Amino acid sequence: MNPQFEDETPINPFDLWKGANFKLKIRKVEGYQNYDKSEFESPSALLSDDEELEKIWKSEYSLTEMIADKEFKSYDTLKQRLDKVLGLNGEAPKTTVEQVKAANVGKKTVAEDSPFKDDLEDDDMAYFSKLAEEN
């Protein structure tokens, strides 16, 4: 695709004749999975039989429907939403501690008889109060 170094040749891994398989190499680094040693093999044809390649090519699904304009909101709609959330349309952002409390009325997030109920609610309220003060 886009090689990082000058001595590497760019390839299109999806090309049936000049593409390349991807070798996924997983290793543990500091206790976490790391994939930075993964690489593409040398370019080669997927199969040697052109009829089989054509069969594979014809069995591919079109993605045109998924990327059609109707699947995305317009710029104006997105801009209005962003301005509303950021409070750029003359109104203050709508999320306040009181509104969070009102939205959660009747919702159970912790069992009523839990010994930790008060502690969790205090922590939540402190967090939301801090967020409200930052604005």
pLDDT tens profile 79-123: 998 888 888 877 666 666 666 677 666 665 555 555 555 555 566
Q: State in Å, rounded, how far the first CA of the chain is from the last one.
A: 44
Query: Could you tell me if 39 and 23 are in contact, meaning their C-beta atoms sit under 8 angstroms apart?
Result: yes
Tell me the whole-structure pTM to 2 decimals.
0.44
Phi-psi region of 72 (alpha: psi -120 to 50; beta: other; left: phi over 0): beta
Please name the amino acid found at residue 73.
K
29 - beta bridge partners? 32
Domain boundaries, the chain: 1-60, 72-134
SS3 107: coil
pLDDT tens profile 16-64: 999 999 999 999 999 999 999 998 899 999 999 999 999 999 999 999 9
Look up tokens 């801090």; give the residue. Answer: 130
